[in-house]
Structure formats: structure tokens, C-alpha cells
Chain A
Amino acid sequence: GNSVTQMEGPVTLSEEAFLTINCTYTATGYPSLFWYVQYPGEGLQLLLKATKADDKGSNKGFEATYRKETTSFHLEKGSVQVSDSAVYFCAPSSGAGSYQLTFGKGTKLSVIP
């Protein structure tokens, strides 16, 4: 099955700092890759996704590029805001026919003014 290694948190940054959250995965075949975000007290929301090698997913200023050669999908944002404080989950999917998501352990981000 798939597995995910995510950067250990918590991560604390000042507003407008640059963010990187590392994610590497192992998977058979060609998974789709997802980042989900969980704001305090809420469920998970899809942040961005990429479905094939070299695709870049982007949303709300966040970006991640599907790197097949390094099996990575690192999340980046150039200038974080206090409202970005949340837990971020990297998740590759299993293959077609029986899709499953395997979630990383989550990285808690706290942005301070």
C-alpha cells in the first residue's frame, strides 16, 4: 500500500514568511496527489491537487508540484497569513478502480502576527 512521510510539526512562522511543508510518498503506479487543510474545529478541505508528473497544483497562494523522480509533493506559499494557521495533510491516492487516500500525519502551522 501507499505511505506518506510529512514534515514533523508544529511549524511556527511570522506573518509574510515563506512556507515549505515537505511531503514524500511511496506508491505503486501513478497516484494522484492531494493537500488537504483542516482549520481549527472543522473538517478537512481540499487545498490543491495534481494528477500527473510535473503538474503544479495551486490554490489560495499555495503551490505544490508533482515530482515523480523524487516522489515528492512539497507544499509552498510565498507569504503566509494568520488565517493560514491550520493542520495540513499530504495524501496520495491509490490507483483507479478502488481509490483510497493515505494521509500523512499532518503538519500543524501556526502563523503569528
Chain B
Amino acid sequence: DTAVSQTPKYLVTQMGNDKSIKCEQNLGHDTMYWYKQDSKKFLKIMFSYNNKELIINETVPNRFSPKSPDKAHLNLHINSLELGDSAVYFCASSQMTSPEQFFGPGTRLTVL
């Protein structure tokens, strides 16, 4: 059973396009996150989201937007893709009462 899953695993697209990455968790968690990992493996949190609150890292461009259709899903939508958006994006989830996070396998985004 996959706890946190992401689709697609790989995404190659042209500059200027709009794309979405999907994330689902079956752990019953109430908080979900998106991280960006650059080529040097540095992990930066982009968003954390639960039923009550969306916390946005102020350095994230507003071309990035999280969308949550329900508690088990947090999708990442990216408008007007740029070369610098190329990275691996990780989804994670946790219980609001615990700091332990469970990560998905990642989506490698390449913008040409």
C-alpha cells in the first residue's frame, strides 16, 4: 500500500505551459505539504495546508498554487512554467498533532 503517492513521476514540458502535479495520501492525515528540491538536494518548503490554514512560503512565486479537493489530496498547479522551475517536487503529509512527515516518491519536473 502506497502511503503518499504522486503523479506523474516525470514531467517534461515547455516554458510557458501550465501543469499540475497530483498528490494523494491514504494515511488519514490532516496536513499536507509541498517541497521543492533543487539540483544540490536542498529542500525548501513551499506550502503547508490543513483544513483550516494554508501557509505559504513567501519566497514562492504566485504562479504556484496548491489545490485541495479533499483532505486526502493536495495538488500543485504551476502557471507559466520557467526554466528555474525545473526540480524535484515532493509531497508530504502528517497529523496536525505530530511533526513527523511522510513523503511521496517525488515528481521530477523538467522545463525546456
Interface size class of A (residues with CB under 8 A): 20 to 34
Whether A43 touches B98, Cβ cut-off 8 Å, given contacts A105-B41, A106-B41, is no
| Residues 95-112 (chain B) with a chain A CB within 8 angstroms | 96-106
Smallest CB gap from B41: residue in A:
A106
Mostly, the B contact residues are loop
Instruction: Give the interface size class of chain B.
Output: 20 to 34
Q: A73 near B: Cβ within 8 Å?
A: no
Let me know if A32 is at the binding interface, CB within 8 A.
yes
B25 within 8 Å of A by Cβ?
no
Q: Say whether B34 faces chain A, with CB atoms less than 8 Å apart.
A: no
Q: Which of B12-20, B42-50, B61-69, B72-80 contacts A (4 or more CB under 8 A)?
A: B42-50
CA distance A106 to B55 in the complex (A): 24
* Complex: A66 Cα to B104 Cα, angstroms: 27
Q: In the complex the two chains form, what is the Cα distance from A101 to B43 in whole Å? A: 10
Q: Is A79 an interface residue (CB 8 A)?
A: no
Point out residues on B near A: beta carbons under 8 Å: 4, 31, 40-43, 45, 48, 53, 55, 90, 92, 94, 96-106
Instruction: Report 22 cross-chain contacts, Cβ distance below 8 Å, ordered by A residue.
Output: A32-B100, A36-B103, A38-B41, A42-B105, A42-B106, A43-B4, A46-B100, A46-B101, A46-B102, A49-B100, A87-B41, A94-B99, A98-B53, A99-B98, A99-B99, A100-B45, A100-B48, A100-B55, A100-B99, A101-B101, A103-B42, A105-B42
